[in-house]
Each structure stands twice: as structure tokens, then as C-alpha cells.
Amino acid sequence: MQNAPLLKTPLHAAHLALQAKMVPFAGFEMPVSYSGIKAEHLAVRSACGLFDVSHMGEFMVRGPGALAFLEQVTSNHVEALFPGRVQYSCMPNGKGGLVDDLLVYNLAPESYMLVVNAGNLHKDWEWLKQHLPQDGSVSIEDRSESTALLALQGPKALQVLQPLCDTDLSGLAYYHFTHASVAGIGSVLVSATGYTGAGGFELYVGAEQAEVLWKALMQEGAPHGLVPCGLGCRDTLRLEMGFCLYGNDIDEGTSAIEAGLSWITSFKKDFIGREHWLEQKKNGPSKRLVGFVMEDRGIPRQGYVLRDSGGLEIGRVTSGSESISTGRYIGMGYVQAEFAAVGTAIWVENRDRLLQARTVKPPFIP
């Protein structure tokens, strides 16, 4: 049986024109880098970078039962949202793990947008359909193919975006959004969110307008040091912040409590899998996700075994790389709960060597 052909985002031609290095990712052909991961990473931390993240999924949830439905299928307190507000959340699977992590946008009363991971898009859609109320009070629509998503990230993002925008963005608070005309394109959803920890915006636009917006941002951003960025530095940037990546740090077998995501879990409401997580919260989980910094030289790779001072296995690495901003080697991984305290010495098994590391509380940069 042949593999399905890779999907392309609406900006595929733009990436090829910029001679991006393309790789398969979540069923798409995506740019991993243009000028190099290190250069792109440092540009985002010091100036500005532009990412194509149009592979992400967007689902519309509408109707008089939308709020109650989302309260049931997501962990965070959706009722706390108001139009113009965004929330980070997750979908519990009812077996102690996670279907996905996601963003919930309150677009208007009884109208929401869910932004889900590309690799989980079909699984998430089926999960939501399975839990829809039978009374017709909620409708869901998959807008993923018709929606492009650009992420403009870095301390100079506002300087790049504002001249192209008809709305004052200076007062747009973190995890809030507005609709604006950008580069002559009407009704772009401009969101003060991102996955880099460097500040900036995410812009949702019709797929047919993506290239116009990309070119306008590239042109406007050039004097400010803006560079196009790929998935490679997206990963190193998010790891420096200690942000979880689905499939690495969280999955169907990890809970929000184990992953340190209690803050996006509201036990004031009923949701799928609530009792399992509440019991974990009360009694403490048997394993916890920790950040760690290498004291011996070596990069911790996903899957490497973590050991205690006596050589006993206590967990595994879920994410690891060089922290490009600091030059240190950093990682995250699950360890038995008694080894999770900040400052605990642990050892990373790298082939036949044991390399010492010490647990820290992310983020890994100031």
C-alpha cells in the first residue's frame, strides 16, 4: 500500500522560492529551516521571525449548547472566556490521558474556534463528533483547509505588523484577539498568542489570501530583521520555554496533572475523565514531567533513559536539545515523583555513558 501524498499549505510555493529545506511533518510537506535553525532561533529572540503554521486545524463550534459541550470535552473553564479572549486547554480522553492540547477562542456568544494539532486533526474531529449532543444544539465545522495561519513572533513583531494594520494593536493583551484589516485583507483574526515565548501575534486568514499576507509581512519586516522561520527553531524556542509538544511531552498516556498542566484544569466543573485526574491531584501522581539542565556535556535525546545515582531507571527523556539562547543542553522528561523536586541530580543514559543533569523549573531562559 502506497503512502498518501504529502499535503501542502497555501504557502508551499513561497517556501520553495525562499529555498527552504522541506521535510514531512504531520502529513504535510513543511519548511524545517531557511537560513539555519540557530540563525532563525536567535532572530526570533532578538528581532522577529515569520512562521507558516497553516498545517494546524481549526474547528468552529456553534449553537446554544456550545458552551456546555466545550465544558464537557475540554479541561479548562470555558465559561471564563468572553468574546475576544483565548484559552489554552486540553481534551482529556477519559482514560487518564490526553486526546490533544488546543486553543479555545470565544468568537461571539455561542460561537467558538478550536485550534488543534495537525497530527491529531482527524482523531480530534472524530472525538468531538462522538460527544456531540443529540439534540442538535451544537454544530461543528472543520475550517482547516480554508484557513491559513501565520505566526509573527519576536520583540519587534508589533513594529512589523502595526503599519499594515488598521487597528491599534498596542493594547492587545496576551491571550486576547481582535479582527482587523491587515495589508488590505479584511477581517484577519489577529491573536496575541504564540509558541515561542518571544511575544508576537498569530494571524488567521483565508487560505487564498495567505501569500499576500506573507509577502507583505516579509517586506515590512525586512528593515526590522525579520526572517522566515521553520519548524526546527519552533521546536528549540518552545523547549526553552518548557512548552509541551504533543507526541513528545504529552500524549494519550499522560495526564494534565503529571504534565504540570493543573493550571488548565478546572475541577469546579464536570468534564470527561474528571474523577481520574481529581484522584491524581489529591493523592499525587506517580510520575511528573520535569525540566533539567545537563551538567555533563551531551544532548539529551527523546527516549533516552533517566537514572538515579544508583543507576536505577526512574524515567525517560521526552524532549531535548541545545538551548541556543544560553549554549546549555536542556531537556524535559517524566521521572518518578520522588525525583521531581527542583535541584535533584539525575543521570541521562547516552549510549554507554551516564551524564549528570539537574532538575529545574522551566522556562530555561530568563
**pLDDT per position as a tens digit, 64-73:** 999 999 999 9
Strand-pairing partners, residue 148, are 205
Q: Report, as an integer, the average pLDDT of 1-22.
A: 92
Cβ 169 vs Cβ 201: under 8 Å? yes
* Angstrom distance (rounded) from CA 208 to CA 362: 39
Cα 312 from Cα 328, distance rounded (Å)? 25
Query: Residue 1 pLDDT more than 80?
Result: no
Q: Which helix (H) or strand (E) holds 204?
A: strand 200-206
CA-to-CA distance for 187 and 48, rounded, in angstroms?
23
13 exposed, middle or buried (CB, 10 Å; 0-12, 13-18, 19+)?
A: exposed
At 90, is the secondary structure helix, strand, or coil?
A: strand
Q: What is the CATH number of domain 12-56+146-240?
A: 3.30.1360.120
**DSSP secondary structure, 276-291, as one string:** HHHHHHHH--SEEEEE
| Domain map (residue ranges) of the chain | 12-56+146-240, 57-141
Provide the CATH number for the domain formed by 57-141 in this structure: 3.30.70.1400
Give the separation between CA 304 and CA 294, rounded to whole angstroms.
Answer: 13
Mean pLDDT (whole number) for 37-66 = 98
Query: Is 359 in contact with 290 (CB distance < 8 Å)?
Result: yes
State pLDDT tens for residues 86-137.
999 999 999 999 999 999 999 999 999 999 999 999 999 999 999 999 999 9
Q: Is 57-141 in the same CATH topology as 12-56+146-240?
A: no
How does residue 154 score in pLDDT terms, banded at 50, 70 and 90? Answer: very high
Q: How do beta strands 227-229 and 49-52 pair?
A: parallel
In the predicted model, is pLDDT for residue 4 greater than 60? yes
How many CB atoms lie under 10 A from the CB of residue 52? Answer: 25
Q: 362 vs 98, 295, 323, CA distance in Å? A: 21, 16, 12
Predicted model pTM? 0.97
- Angle (deg, nearest 10), helices 121-131 and 66-73: 120
Residue 21 reports pLDDT greater than 70: yes
The answer, yes or no, to whether residue 2 has pLDDT greater than 70, is no
